[in-house]
Amino acid sequence: MSPTPTPRLNPAVMEPLSAALPRHWEAQPDQAALQQAIAQVLAAIDRNLEHFGTQFPAPSSVNSVYPAIGNIEWTNGFWTGMLWLAYEVSGAARYREAAEAHVRSFHERQAQRINTNHHDLGFLYSLSCIAAHKLTGSELAAEAAMGAARLLLERYMERAGIIQAWGDLNDPEQAGRMIIDCNLNLPLLYWAAQHSGERAFADAANRHIEAAARHIVRADGSTFHTFFFDPATGQPRHGKTHQGYADDSCWSRGQAWGISGFPLVYRHNGDARLLELSKVVANYFLNRLPEDGIAYWDLIFTSGPEQRDSSAAAIAACGLLELSRQLPAADPLRGAYRHAAAGMVQELSGRYLIAGGAPGSGLLRHAVYHKPQGMGVDECCIWGDYFYFEALVRLTHSGGDWQPYW
């Protein structure tokens, strides 16, 4: 008897990869150019390490310079993640010491529940404490990451099988709302399952990614930014944007969170259907890039004066590299995804990078945080800087042997 075929997670149609990649994008990135780009990033980190001291860069810049903030935002982990990457590539103790001071701050943050009532705990704790645990074996970091994972698990709604994005679980405005960005927060749960032996973390992550696959990805391979379920019955209700142009448009960064999150979850749960879905989402994204290959802030725009989102490009590049690494060697799109990722990074290094900026300056110009609310529009965003650095590190490990913090 032949085995029952596994049902597809989502019947979305995969567009063929139709867009010609910009002609000047080289398939094989020049390793010397990558090393030079990493040296520029390290120089910027050195300037900012002195400038921020024990504080952190704000989520987005003002005139390309990040205001200093305490450990209170959803974005603090990106700066710590950059310090860990800097430590990995250089071995310099100053980065490790600064990152270890952050770990102590992150430990306190979860213990005191300082602005932890949201799904972004994975962004915060994967790049700070899980990175610390992986690189140094720190028990304090592991304890903090476990605490954060328990807070994230508190947001799991059993009926709908999702982690609620924002707000109190009883808040009528937010109850039952999931978000594509949360794909990147699930690795914290898988890590906690493995570290503690408690299956509940992985079970919740598995149900959440399945809900994202079935309901956030639309039939044409685009994505909703957020999706509501009835919290009482668990029935799916409707999609809604938060940071995109319209409910039925496709917010570029959300699509990039999809490209990267599905293969990162595959790394943990081995469900190959997530790789297929990442390809669907990736092709939709790549087919809607303007001439220089750096997406507008919403994929409804493919030309004209609207702002780009360089941070979406940096996230997508890391996602395409992860996807390419996880696909079987015979997959015909494997090389194209790596080529596209390398091209985007070349473009970011060549035309979007702020070299030799002021203290506090960001790295990647022309990102957008929240266009509908007018926040961080055409500014630097700290996650764009992080993912640009991660993409450079990934590209310098052409054998794919760099171990993500996710």
Catalytic residue ranges:
120, 181
Q: Report the nearest approach of ligand GLY to the CB of residue 59 (Å).
A: 8
CA–CA distance, 111 with 325 (Å, rounded to integer): 36
Instruction: Calculate the CA dihedral of residues 153, 369, 33, 332 and round it to 10 degrees.
Output: 60
Q: Which is nearer to ligand GLY, 325 or 371 (CB)?
A: 371
Residue 153 CB, shortest distance to ligand GLY, in Å, is 19
Residue 397 CA neighbour count, 13 Å, CB half: 17
Q: CA nearest 188: which of 74, 265, 87, 80? A: 265
Query: Residue 181 interacts with ligand GLY (CB under 6 A)?
Result: yes
CB of 178 to ligand GLY, least distance (A): 13
Which one among 96, 107, 253, 325 touches ligand GLY, defined by CB under 6 A? 253
- Rounded Cα distance between 340 and 229, Å, is 35
Alpha carbons 375 and 377: distance in angstroms, whole number: 6
Instruction: Write down the least CB distance from residue 385 to ligand GLY, Å.
Output: 13
Q: With contact defined as beta carbons under 8 Å apart, do 144 and 125 qualify?
A: yes
Establish if 292 lies at the interface with ligand GLY (CB under 6 A): no
> Looking up tokens 């790596």, which residue turns up?
338
> Would you state the structure tokens that stand for residue 103, as one six-digit string?
């770990």
Helix then strand count (H, E) for the chain reads 13, 9
Residue (181 or 379) nearer to ligand GLY, CB: 181
Binding mask 367-406 for ligand GLY (x = CB under 6 A): --x-------------------------------------
CB 215 within 8 A of CB 228: no
Q: Is 100 in the site for ligand GLY (CB under 6 A)?
A: no
Question: How many amino acids of this chain bind ligand GLY (CB under 6 A)?
Answer: 4
Build a one-symbol-per-residue string for 255-284: x at contacts with ligand GLY by CB under 6 A, - elsewhere. Answer: ------------------------------
Q: Which residue is nearest to ligand GLY (CB)?
A: 181
Work out how close the CB of 121 gets to ligand GLY at its nearest, in angstroms, rounded to a whole number: 12
**What is the C-alpha to C-alpha distance for residues 100 and 84, in angstroms, rounded to an integer?**
9
Map the footprint of ligand GLY across residues 333-372, applying CB under 6 A: 369
Q: Which is nearer to ligand GLY, 17 or 256 (CB)?
A: 256
Q: Which is nearer to ligand GLY, 74 or 284 (CB)?
A: 74
| Single-letter residue type at 378 | D
Q: Quick one: which H or E segment has residue 106?
A: helix 93-112
- Contact residues for ligand GLY, defined by CB under 6 A: 181, 243, 253, 369
